[in-house]
Structure 1
Amino acid sequence: MNHSSKKIETALLLAIAITLPLQAMAGAGGTEFTQVYDQLTGWANGTLGKVLGVSALLVGLGVGVIKQSVIAAVVGIAMALTAGFGPGVIDGVVSSGVAIVNPI
């Protein structure tokens, strides 16, 4: 192992050692973004999300008919499903933190 690769390895280990404790606090705080988050999830779960999902489905079906291919319709259905279920899945993943009561 040459000298420059040893420096790179040391720098990477140092960066990991510094940022690892900070990752535990990544989901905490951020109350200043609550209003923006509520607005965006309201749009996605409300009428705007339904309109975008149905329009993606219709565009995908239309392109599928024109190209005589099922792939465009599948993409439209996937976009509609993502628009409908995406915000709930993201909220569930982000807020699924488990509190450790008795640390080791």
Structure 2
Amino acid sequence: MKASYRTGVLLTLVSLFFVLLAPDAMAGTGGTEFNNVWTLLTGWVEGLLGRIIAIVFVIVGLVAGVVRGSIMGFVLGVASGVGLFAAPTIITNIVTATL
């Protein structure tokens, strides 16, 4: 056996050993003191303020697209607006995901 092959096999076995010994992750089970902040920021982003910011993204993107003579500014503005509006839902789904 070559030394590099043995090293790779040994590294794989040690990695598997450490994975099996790892404790369960309990992410997202605490932090209730930040619920008010999360509710406030989510309300801003999904509410009227978020819609105004999304419209501003689209308008700025449209102006940038006209100045540059390219549609990409408008596309980036629309993508930013949609991303801003969907961000709280995406973050909630990522943080509360279970295996």
Give the TM-score, by structure 1 length: 0.69
Unaligned runs of 5+ in 1: 1-14, 99-104
Counterpart position of 2:6: none
* Whole-angstrom distance in 2 between the partners of 1:55 and 1:39: 21
Moved >4 Å (runs of 4+): 15-19
Question: Is the aligned partner of 1:32 residue 2:33?
Answer: yes
Q: Which string of whole-angstrom CA distances, capped at 9 and with x for unpartnered residues, describes residues 13-69 of structure 1?
A: xx98997x263x111111011011001001011111001101001100110011101
Rounded Cα–Cα distance in structure 2 between residues aligned with 1:18 and 1:42:
41
Structure 2 residues without counterparts, runs of 5 or longer: 1-17
RMSD: 2.6
Q: Which amino acid aligns with 2:65?
A: G
2:49 corresponding residue in structure 1: 48
Cα distance in 2 for residues equivalent to 1:46 and 1:18: 45
Q: How does 1:11-22 map to 2 (within 5 A)?
A: 21=23
Equivalent pairs counted in the alignment come to: 95
Q: How high is the sequence identity, in percent, across the aligned residues?
A: 35
Q: Name the CA distance, whole Å, in 2 between partners of 1:48 and 1:27.
A: 27
